[in-house]
Amino acid sequence: MKGSFRQSMAWLHTWSGLLVGWVLFAVFLTGTAAYFRPEISRWMQPEAGQPAPVLQSAPAAVGFLQRKVPDAFHWDIFLPGDREAVTRVFWTPRAESGGPGRRDRRLHRATLDAASGEAVEARATRGGEFLYRFHFDLYYMPVRWGRWIVGFCAMLMLVAIISGIVTHKKFFADFFTLRLKKGQRSWLDAHAVTAVLSLPFHLMITYTGLVALMFLYMPWGVEARYASDRAFFQEVFSPGRYAERTGVAAPLADLAPMIRKASEIWGGGMPGHIAVRHPGDEGATIRMEPSGAGRLAPEGHALVFRGATGELLTEEGAPPAVQTHSAMIGLHSGRFASPWLRWLYFLSGVGGTVMVATGLLMWIVKRRQKLPDPDRPHFGFRLVEKLNIGTIAGLPIGLAAYFLANRLLPVGMPGRAGWEIHAFFIAWGAVFAWALLRPARRGWIEALAAGAAAYALVPLANAATTAHGLLPSLLAADWLFVGFDLVMLATAAGLAGAAMCMARHRPKVRASRRLAAAAPDARTLA
């Protein structure tokens, strides 16, 4: 009975994992990269300056908006903190005062230098934001579809994790075991080791990822009580008690004392978002939300000040449910993390990516031995093999193409930011096409080698087109650019190593295949 339960769990693990594995690989890879979203954005806009303290960037942004749209209905200021170099501002003109909707925001926006508050003349790019959005929105489809697909895959991921734990016979006995050069055994070890050692991370990241979008996946509670999604989000996440416009002109008070006051209330935290309603009016209100830096659950601690006097009007309390939700998103996104903790997050994410990849490879390795005719595998086998090459080798190449396009596309090109993203998908698709045309083993070696070359090219393209090459950055102690180049080179080395391993082991695999053909029974039993 116990054996059959474990067998059915093994079946569940195999097929739930295979069905969603390729999407999960993409989600894990881009999500892991997104732990460095602001850093990637800075690398992709080398024209932007350096981060600046909030006490400098906030008044600078207000200065810009006062010059540009003094009479607006609403300003939104997203402050950079110490990881970004630009402030993002959005405004709603009085004529469109239906409320700051997303559509308005896209029309009226500016990217400012954090320190000076001047509009930044930088190349158009979605930067790290694209990777972050792709990991739950996907691309080339309505956002809602993408989120449903990713949510479905995450749900099956949870199923695969639980059934995987049940299936794993020697959870503790094999805890530290990685046996090399043993074919299927080695892949199983690699899969188990990456899964087991970061198991708390995998469970946490999958569960909190689902929780982050729970209002989409399980909307019925909200639907039963609220007229619309919007009414719900307004009430729960930004209750914003703004005052009415009086029509009497009054300048905004100095921001600095309000920021200091807010920081005191938040125990040293700094605002990440400042919203100003009716700027320049006597009834102006300023709402500050704490940034996620250093704070696990930033949601729901907003403060509202009277704009004309700087007096604190409201201290919004966070209901426990909002705090819990916010803490789960904080745990998932790691925005609160110090740099070292962020690297630990990143490494755990790499572990998750490797776990998914080795799982996908296992499916092939396990079945290759049992093929009736290894030279003519059946359609399903070939399909999985090609999808594996296209995804596991192709997606990293797409990422390299995204970075290369950022450096090589002309700065003034129309639709530039979009073409960087197209480059990502074109390169990824090209690897798929290549995988279809080539025999599997050659396809793997060539795709991995191409990936190594692409990643090695990124630092070269960077050095050739910007003043932030590896050497100048080292001399200037600009660790962001140094770190980025080093990660690119390390990835190139990793892919080159994988390609060489694969090339070297080719004859051996042939031999074992022949062996399998000669004595199929022994193989199947083992």
Partner 1 sequence: MSAFLPLLPALAGFACLALAMDRHQPAVAGRVLGPRATSAFRWAGWTALVLAYVAAVDASGWVSGSVGWFGHAAVAATAVVLLLTWRPRAVLFLVLGAPAWACVRPARSSNNHRS
Q: Interface with partner 1 by CB under 8 A: which residues? A: 173, 175-178, 180, 193, 197-198, 200-201, 204, 296, 331, 336-341, 344-345, 347-348, 351
Of 145 and 175, the one with the shorter C-beta distance to partner 1 is 175
To partner 1, the closest distance from the beta carbon of 21 in angstroms equals: 21
To partner 1, the closest distance from the beta carbon of 267 in angstroms equals: 11
Tokens found for residue 485: 């180049």
Euclidean distance between CA atoms 446 and 452, whole angstroms: 10
Of 103 and 170, the one with the shorter C-beta distance to partner 1 is 170
Euclidean distance between CA atoms 352 and 347, whole angstroms: 9
Taking the CB of residue 114, how many other CB atoms lie within 10 A of it? 26
Of 336 and 455, the one with the shorter C-beta distance to partner 1 is 336
To partner 1, the closest distance from the beta carbon of 252 in angstroms equals: 35
To partner 1, the closest distance from the beta carbon of 342 in angstroms equals: 10
Of 38 and 351, the one with the shorter C-beta distance to partner 1 is 351
- Contact between residue 428 and residue 454 where contact means Cβ atoms under 8 Å apart: no
Q: How far is the CA of 335 from the CAs of 68, 145, 158, 295, 343, in angstroms?
A: 31, 26, 23, 8, 12
- Contact between residue 23 and residue 150 where contact means Cβ atoms under 8 Å apart: yes
Euclidean distance between CA atoms 73 and 61, whole angstroms: 16
Tokens found for residue 269: 């935290």
Containing H/E element for 269?
none
Beta bridge partners of 275: 76, 287
- Contact between residue 250 and residue 280 where contact means Cβ atoms under 8 Å apart: yes
Euclidean distance between CA atoms 336 and 353, whole angstroms: 22
To partner 1, the closest distance from the beta carbon of 139 in angstroms equals: 30
Euclidean distance between CA atoms 519 and 64, whole angstroms: 77
Q: How far is the CA of 37 from the CAs of 33, 260, 288, 334, in angstroms?
A: 7, 28, 23, 11
To partner 1, the closest distance from the beta carbon of 367 in angstroms equals: 26
To partner 1, the closest distance from the beta carbon of 296 in angstroms equals: 5
To partner 1, the closest distance from the beta carbon of 338 in angstroms equals: 6
Of 20 and 331, the one with the shorter C-beta distance to partner 1 is 331
To partner 1, the closest distance from the beta carbon of 351 in angstroms equals: 7
Residue 77 DSSP SS3: strand
Amino acid letter at 520?
Answer: P
Strand order, beta sheet including 312-315:
109-113, 86-92, 74-78, 271-277, 285-290, 303-306, 312-315
Of 200 and 247, the one with the shorter C-beta distance to partner 1 is 200
Of 172 and 220, the one with the shorter C-beta distance to partner 1 is 172
Euclidean distance between CA atoms 85 and 104, whole angstroms: 24
Residues 6+ away with beta carbon under 8 Å from 121:
47
Of 88 and 342, the one with the shorter C-beta distance to partner 1 is 342
To partner 1, the closest distance from the beta carbon of 185 in angstroms equals: 13
To partner 1, the closest distance from the beta carbon of 526 in angstroms equals: 20
DSSP string, 329-359: HHHHH-TT--HHHHHHHHHHHHHHHHHHHHH
To partner 1, the closest distance from the beta carbon of 51 in angstroms equals: 20
Burial of 46 (0-12, 13-18, 19+ CB in 10 A): middle
- Among 221, 217, 253, 251, which residue's Cα sits nearest to residue 236? 221
Of 56 and 186, the one with the shorter C-beta distance to partner 1 is 186
Size of the chain in residues: 526
**How wide is the angle at C-alpha 329 spanned by C-alphas 328 and 330, nearest 5°?**
90
Of 203 and 460, the one with the shorter C-beta distance to partner 1 is 203
Of 31 and 351, the one with the shorter C-beta distance to partner 1 is 351
Of 57 and 198, the one with the shorter C-beta distance to partner 1 is 198
Euclidean distance between CA atoms 416 and 126, whole angstroms: 10
Q: Are strands 74-78 and 285-290 parallel, antiparallel or unpaired?
A: unpaired
Residues 6+ away with beta carbon under 8 Å from 238:
287, 302
Tokens found for residue 508: 């051996």
To partner 1, the closest distance from the beta carbon of 409 in angstroms equals: 37
